[in-house]
Structure 1
Amino acid sequence: MAVTGRPDRIMVPRVCALVAALAVVVGGGTSCSSPSASGALASPFDASSPWRQVIPADAPVDPNSTAMIASVQPTPALNANLVAYGIPIYAAGRDTPTYAVACTRVDYGLCPFAGWPVAIPDGAEPNTGSDGVLVSVQESSGIIFEFWRAVRDGETWTTAFGAVNSLHGSGWGGAATGSGASRLAGVVRVAEIADGEIPHALALQSNNACPTFRAPALKSDGTSTRADCIPEGARLQLDPELDLGSLDLRPGELAVARAMQRYGGYLMDVANTPLSVSFEREADPAADEVGQTYSDAGFRWDYDAMENVPWDKLRVLK
């Protein structure tokens, strides 16, 4: 139920101290005051974060790359999770209501939200997919509250499990995703599509994820035992020699393809599709519509395959 007495105000010093410690654990800066709140939410995580690194020109390719890409490209596609599995991202201010949020999966260990006044804006809703994802960012403290299977019942919020991460950290930590990536990390933002520029690596999912993982992933929820499975934490890149200007790409496809050439994407979760990518859920569209910004960029529907990009030209880096 809702926490009374405005604990989001009286606990700011404690939250700032905890975010400093948290940032050390998950990587990155340790100050509550930098960068600016709006800039940090628009470009989350420390400059040293794996999500913000350009792929070097001489990055080696995994020797099993061809087989792994063939396994997730029976039909060339990178499905855009725009609606049911789009990520609802909310900015929480100092006056945002806070709640004591319990975890319903007690077999996963101590609830990450235990003891926290969890800031959740009025009107916040998880996505409608089976993951029930919701992300709330308390910008003043730099704390990210990440929900898996969030449920609101009147004035009470619960979640199956979740994570608490730092907006100024590495973008890895917790159990909100199968690999331990922050649920905010790698998400294509509405504003980025509007600008035509995505300045970070992307969050990818696959139904052929291995139970093994590689750095920067911390774990894996993959179950595929095929020889061509892809470890969680693997970084995929669109062939950087591909001339995107020669292709007839819609604006959204071009922005995603450029990011996949320059920054690539990390396999960070299991999905029901061969290969998909996380997008921020656009605010206030009709129930099953992608939203005006995405529509203007050429996205037609949920799980748009962005098929004008030759996704069979992907490669897995070593």
Structure 2
Amino acid sequence: MAARCIPGLLAILVVLVSGVTACSFQAGPGPFERPFAASSPWRQEIPPDAEVDPDSAAMIAAVQQKPALNGNLVEYGIPIYRADDDTPTYTVPCTRQDYGICPFAGWPVPIPDGAQPNTGSDGVLVSVAESDGTVFEFWRAAREGDTWTTGFAAVNSLNGSGWGGAATGSGASRLAGVIRVAEIADGEIPHALALQSNNACPAFRPPALKSDGASTRADCIPEGARLQLDPQLDLESLGLSPGELAVGRAMQRYGGYLMDVANTPMSVSFERDRDAGPGELGPTYSDAGFRWDYDAMENIPWDRLRVLK
């Protein structure tokens, strides 16, 4: 929270009337913009003495034969909606009953008018009830008339760890680690990133709760593993676009957690820009130098990634 002092006569009046210091306070980003508790793994910086996994070189070589971190900007971009007390609510059943009890059972699920899941095969949608900090996460959401269904779901808290439920393969919240439109506009991403890979192991490590990985290769990467871009790289010298620079800095400072399976060797989740037209990136991403969906950000030497122990 940043303080801003009030000068002159107004300051004297503030002190006389309220008995408090003559400073007003301007709040920083709220939980919707920066979700999860300060203690969440997603919000922790990587310490300078972080140990590298002994198998790191092999794991990175396997997913970086052609250095790239593909940005899921459009088809698999994450649509994130803010719900308030006036947002309509729905009873939303899960169509995959073999997965267990539907996490939405018993919940009035708020879904803003006009909300749409992403167009990728996972049909993701996230709706955040800001009044009580509840995060409703859809996998394969669908609407027919006035009825919503979801393949499966998760319910998490904005004040929680960012891990819980079955909306992703590792048990990470579908909101966790997503690069937000406003973060790209600001040029700063203050959290670890949500990564996916086609070389994810069936095994997992904390903070992951499970894994949907199927790779049996010796160089597969466990879900829950934390990856970091070499912090010794001088990103400023590489002629990066503003978007690439923001992503690269975040991967040096916070890293990213492998939290789901993808069809690409390595990808990262972005919020879907709701100001974008069909199939378009949207003005914020375009202005930051992103060129198309799945932009590889290849000006960053992603072969300098490392898997932390």
TM-score, structure 2 normalization: 0.91
Deviation at 1:146, TM superposition (A): 0.0
In 1, the alpha carbon distance for the partners of 2:260 and 2:299 equals 25
Q: Which residue of 2 aligns with 1:250?
A: 241
Q: CA RMSD in A?
A: 1.0
Q: Which residue of 1 aligns with 2:113?
A: 122
1:253-312 residue CA offsets vs partner (Å, 9 max, x unmatched): 000000000000000000000000000000131211111000000000000000000000
- Three-state SS of the structure 1 residue aligned to 2:30 is helix
Identity of aligned residues (%): 80
In 1, the alpha carbon distance for the partners of 2:204 and 2:306 equals 17
In 2, the alpha carbon distance for the partners of 1:46 and 1:149 equals 27
Q: Is 1:216 aligned with 2:207?
A: yes
**Which amino acid letter does the alignment assign opposite residue 240 of structure 2?**
L
In 2, the alpha carbon distance for the partners of 1:268 and 1:262 equals 18
Q: Which residue of 1 aligns with 2:306?
A: 315
Q: How does 1:23-62 map onto structure 2 within 5 Å? A: 39-62=30-53
Q: How does 1:1-318 map onto structure 2 within 5 Å? A: 39-318=30-309
In 2, the alpha carbon distance for the partners of 1:67 and 1:291 equals 37
TM-score, structure 1 normalization: 0.88
Deviation at 1:198, TM superposition (A): 0.1
1:183-227 residue CA offsets vs partner (Å, 9 max, x unmatched): 000000000000000000000000000000000000000000000
1:141-195 residue CA offsets vs partner (Å, 9 max, x unmatched): 1000000000000100000001000010000000000000000000000000000
Larger-gyration structure (1/2)? 2
- Asked if 2 retains the 8 angstrom alpha-carbon contact of 1:37 and 1:140, the reply is no
In 2, the alpha carbon distance for the partners of 1:240 and 1:266 equals 16
Deviation at 1:37, TM superposition (A): 11
Deviation at 1:74, TM superposition (A): 1.1
User: Against the structure 1 CA distance between its residues 179 and 261, is the aligned structure 2 distance closer, same or farther, given a 3 Å change threshold?
Assistant: same
- Three-state SS of the structure 1 residue aligned to 2:31 is helix
In 1, the alpha carbon distance for the partners of 2:104 and 2:62 equals 38
1:15-61 residue CA offsets vs partner (Å, 9 max, x unmatched): xxxxxxxxxxxxxxxxxxxxx99600000000000000000000000
List alignment gaps of at least 5 residues for structure 1.
1-35
- Three-state SS of the structure 2 residue aligned to 1:146 is strand
Moved over 4 A (4+): none
- Asked if 2 retains the 8 angstrom alpha-carbon contact of 1:135 and 1:144, the reply is yes
List alignment gaps of at least 5 residues for structure 2.
1-26
**Which amino acid letter does the alignment assign opposite residue 306 of structure 1?**
M
- Three-state SS of the structure 1 residue aligned to 2:140 is strand
How many residues were matched structurally? 283
